[in-house]
A and B are shown apart, each in its own frame.
Chain A
Amino acid sequence: MSEALSLYVARPSRVHQLHPLTKLALAGFMLVGGLLLPGPWGLYIFWALVTLPLAFLGRILNQLVIATLRVAFPFALSVFLIQGFLWTGGTPLFRVGPLSLKQEGLAFAIASTGRILMVVSSFLWFALTTRPDQLMATLSQRGFPAGLSYMIVATLQIVPRFQARANAILDAQRSRGLETEGNLRRRLKALLPLVIPLVLSSLIDVEERALAIETRGFNRPGQKTNLIVIPEAPWEPAARIGILICAVLVVGLGLWLR
């Protein structure tokens, strides 16, 4: 099996042993909290009190923080510069040349950065601790349409192969003299000789794949046996309900404090 597209980091941790659905519920809880908690600082407190400890428990604190910052930092910079200094009206805090840092713009930037931090880190926390194939196996065992889970798992496997193919085409066309650097017009002219071969070559084996999975009984109705069994602790279903109740409470709190 070729390498699949995934951030998963294998660690012997309590978080990794959790059932994928429990982790999904926790990630959803963090996401909801991140999007709905009011005020510029509420999000940061929530992040420090919920997300970071969960990442610590999963032994992926380093990876989570690095990956989150890599995504959030360009944002934070952009949002501080653009909204902080170019805010229309507002109370100026201090001036730099013709521009001034506005209090409202700064508060907006802090709140936006917090929201990005929460959204990104809840996604990453889930991706770092959950194997995609296990997640999909769980979902299809719970009645999630088999077609949909096939599409997701297949995508995760195809994407790395496609990226490799895209690079091969790039190298091949370059070696035949295609100019991929220089001014914009030149780069635009390189677009079609790269995109068309990539798309056409990838579509050619679609038909064969369809026949292959049909001959393996993909469309056969009725109960199917699962190869992967996902372990679940007896208390986990109850815990998931608890997490969902907490999420609803956070939504209520968020709306009430607004």
Chain B
Amino acid sequence: MDRIKKDFSTLTLVMIPVAIAINIAVGQLIFTLKIPLYLDSIGTVLVGVLVGPWAGAVTGLLTNLIWGLTGLNVVSAAFWSVAAVIGVLAGLFSDAGWLRAWWKVILAGLITGLIAAILSAPISAYVFGGVTGAGTDVVVAIFRGMGLNVLPASFAQGVSSDPLDKATSFLVVWLIVQALPLRFIMRFPRAENVKPA
């Protein structure tokens, strides 16, 4: 409990809305550039890494709920639990010291992506009938055409895009942390996790 209280300092409370805005703004930038990734969890991973798993979870959850409830991306609201888990995982990997070497960062992203794919498949299969109305539906169509059922097809689609997406997000966060002034990073509770040795 004390740990949680320490994590949610005023700086964290201010950081989370900025992180959510980063998620949304970068997500839309990627959409404009027509890059076949989402990259809508950079802020979530950043908070998870610097502040901890709980704050990461709150960032992910609020991102998807706000994005959905404001009608900008209604689909995302259904995936709030996945977004929260991504934040938790970022925090755990940071605690485990995986944010110190670039190859461990990529590995952490790949694992996070795999878990995200496992968690989001039932949601997309049950709530949305396996499709999201986005470009990735083509992938679902291919897997359905190969004779997979709704749930396995959604899962296969997730596995083919989520690990790459999350690995890229983690790597971008790592680059950001390298570029941030140390004075700024030291204000966060998990600064030790990312400080260069």
Residues of A within 8 A of B (CB): 5-7, 35, 67, 71, 73-75, 77-79, 81-83, 86-88, 108-109, 111-113, 115-116, 119-120, 123-124, 126-127, 132, 147-148, 150-152, 154-156, 158-159, 161-163, 165-166, 170, 180, 184, 187-188, 190-192, 194-196, 198-200, 202-204, 206-207, 209-210, 213-214, 218-219
Contact = CB atoms under 8 A, between A and B. Distances in A.
B107 interface: no
B71 A203 contact: no
Contact of A162 (B25, B131, B187): B25
A155 B132 CA distance: 25
Q: Is the interface of A mostly helix, strand, loop or mixed?
A: helix
B15 A88 contact: no
Contacts of A218: 10
B1 interface: no
Interface stretch (B16-24, B88-96, B98-106, B189-197): B16-24
Nearest to A8: B70
B175 A196 contact: yes
A152 B66 contact: yes
A251 to B, nearest CB: 16
Q: Among the interface residues B33, B127, B180, which one has the most CB atoms of the partner chain A within 10 A?
A: B33
Contact of B22 (A88, A109, A199): A199
Contacts of A165: 25
Contacts of B14: 154, 206, 209-210, 213
Contacts of A203: 15, 18, 176, 180, 184
Contacts of A78: 131-133, 137
B182 interface: no
Given A88-B147, A123-B69, A192 B141 contact: no
B29 to A, nearest CB: 5
B78 to A, nearest CB: 7
Contacts, number: 193
Interface of B: 8-11, 13-18, 20-22, 24-26, 28-30, 32-36, 39, 42-43, 46, 58, 62, 66, 68-72, 74-75, 77-78, 127-134, 137, 140-141, 144-145, 147-150, 172, 175-176, 179-180, 184, 187
B21 A210 contact: no
B187 to A, nearest CB: 7
Given A7-B70, A156-B70, A195-B42, 16 more contacts: A6-B70, A79-B128, A82-B141, A83-B131, A88-B148, A116-B129, A132-B70, A151-B17, A151-B58, A154-B17, A162-B24, A187-B33, A192-B175, A202-B22, A207-B184, A210-B9
A170 B94 CA distance: 31
Contact of A214 (B10, B29, B36, B72): B10
B43 to A, nearest CB: 8
B130 A82 contact: yes
B131 A184 contact: no
A206 B71 contact: no
